[in-house]
Amino acid sequence: MISSELLACAISHNINQALNEDIGTGDITACLIPEHEQARAVVITREDMVLAGQPWVNALFEQLDPAVKLNWLHAEGAQLKANEAFLELEGNARSLLTGERPALNFIQTLSAVATKVAEYVVLLDGLHTKLLDTRKTLPGLRIAQKYAVAIGGGQNHRIGLFDAFLIKENHIMAAGGIAQAIAAAHQIAPGKPVEVEVETFDELDQALTAGADIVMLDNFSNQQMTDAVKHVAGRCKLEASGNIGKHNLREVAQTGVDYISMGALTKDVKAIDLSMRLVK
């Protein structure tokens, strides 16, 4: 789960970077407009979406021009239809136009993640399996995208390399085995979740014996996952990963695994089509 401190830090970093890379030494096009000209604008979506990213837009205009007034017509996480307005802005015309692109960039990207996640979560309706994200995120937008996953109804896996162990094949080989890796993890950071990726039932048993909290079943068949759920019988949580998409998500969940993790939730998103227009 993303802490409030980590979220605030990420938003501040994202906003600074977005404004610096876009404005640089100054918005020369905005200077075409009289300095004190006032304007109103409305932002609409051109396609169905789940709204996400309000904290970034709020922070952006607070930094760019605190006098700009934002009126959100829908709450964060709202399901919007194509051509529906969701934000009204009022203030200095230069400020509105300078902030337009970086603001829409955040909304179009985070809403795309939330929308995709919501579409997948619906497929798990009635099942206990939870949908997880991964570390396969856009550079610099890790926290933002994981925030959007939660808005869409998914759950966050570990935030990074610091808050949980995920012991994979290379870690196991370098550590000398599954038992050795798990034992070392418990010594290095007691209390941190320890997850191990396994490819066979023998490795699954090794992870269970060594006290793994979660076992990731890497590219197991559906039948193998069903058998693994029965075999584990609640002794640890099981996560499915690899070659999972819309076409087979529910089928995989029906094996009884606790989690399904998907990198596609954050790395393969297509931005939502948005539009901002000045109005009288």
Residue 192 catalytic? no
Cα 97 to Cα 61: distance, rounded to the nearest angstrom:
11
Cα 276 to Cα 105: distance, rounded to the nearest angstrom:
12
Residue 136 catalytic? yes
Residue 197 catalytic? yes
Location of structure tokens 């390399």: 161
Catalytic residue among 40, 135, 168, 237: 168
Quick one: angle between helices 142-151 and 4-23, nearest 10?
A: 120
Catalytic residue among 22, 27, 65, 136: 136
Q: Which two tokens stand for residue 241?
A: 């990963």
Catalytic residue among 37, 46, 69, 101: 101
Single out the residue of 245, 172, 263 nearest to residue 212, CA to CA: 172
Angle at 195 between CA 138 and CA 132, to 5 degrees: 45
Residue 203 catalytic? no
Query: Which amino acid does the sequence have at 86?
Result: F
Q: Which two tokens stand for residue 135?
A: 């570390």
Catalytic residue among 195, 197, 203, 258: 197
Quick one: angle between helices 54-64 and 4-23, nearest 10?
A: 50
Question: What H or E segment, with its residue span, contains residue 259?
Answer: strand 259-261
Q: Give how far the C-alpha of residue 46 lies from the chain's centroid of Cα atoms, to the nearest Å.
A: 22
Location of structure tokens 């009635």: 126
Residue 101 catalytic? yes
Q: Give how far the C-alpha of residue 45 lies from the chain's centroid of Cα atoms, to the nearest Å.
A: 20
CB distance 171 to 136 below 8 Å: no
CA distances (Å), origin 257, targets 33, 68, 118, 252 = 58, 48, 20, 8
Q: Which two tokens stand for residue 48?
A: 């169905």
Catalytic residues, by residue number, are 101, 136, 168, 197, 218
